[in-house]
């Protein structure tokens, strides 16, 4: 018997093929519990999937030095659930070192 057939027979209070009506009713209760478990399991999977989606983008960060000059720095941003990380290529903040060196020799 299919799940639908068991649920239908239980609703009508009938038995079938030597299976008593009370047994069919018990099977139908178990099927309903199983359906609820499946719904909860699917909901859990959707929540986990939503939390683990990773988002990547690139952009430019405008950094101002202490003299007020602005510098564009290319960055990559990665968002993973509750965490946000950004990174810049090596040498992106070299202008800071250059400025410090110039200040040393003045």
Q: 53 falls in which pLDDT band (50, 70, 90)?
A: low
The answer as to whether 45 is a domain residue is yes
Residues 33 and 62 in one domain: no
The whole domain housing 29 covers 3-51
The pLDDT score that the predictor gives to residue 52 is: 64
Q: 85 falls in which pLDDT band (50, 70, 90)?
A: confident
Q: Which two tokens stand for residue 79?
A: 């968002």
Residues 6+ apart with CB under 8 A from 32: 7
The answer as to whether 60 is a domain residue is yes
Total residue length of the chain: 106
Helix (H) or strand (E) holding 60: strand 54-64
pTM over 0.75: no
Cβ atoms 77, 85 nearer than 8 A? yes
Residues 11 and 47 in one domain: yes
Residues 47 and 62 in one domain: no
The answer as to whether 101 is a domain residue is no
The answer as to whether 26 is a domain residue is yes
- Dmax (CA) for the chain in angstroms is 102
Residues 47 and 64 in one domain: no
Return d(Cα 27, Cα 45) in angstroms, integer: 27
Q: Torsions phi, psi of 70, nearest 5?
A: -105, 145
Tell me how many domains the chain contains.
Answer: 2
The pLDDT score that the predictor gives to residue 37 is: 93
The answer as to whether 59 is a domain residue is yes
Helix (H) or strand (E) holding 80: strand 70-80
Top pLDDT among 47 and 5 is at: 5
Residues 33 and 65 in one domain: no
């Amino acid at each position: 018997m299919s799940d639908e057939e068991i649920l239908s027979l239980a609703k009508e209070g009938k038995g079938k093929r030597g299976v008593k009506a009370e047994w069919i009713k018990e099977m139908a209760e178990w099927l309903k519990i199983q359906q609820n478990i499946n719904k909860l399991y699917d909901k859990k999977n959707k929540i986990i999937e939503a939390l683990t989606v990773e988002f990547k983008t690139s952009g430019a960060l405008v950094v101002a030095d202490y003299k007020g000059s602005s510098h564009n720095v290319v960055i990559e941003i990665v968002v993973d659930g509750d965490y946000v990380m950004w990174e810049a290529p090596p040498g992106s903040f070299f202008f800071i070192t250059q400025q410090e060196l110039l200040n040393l020799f003045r």
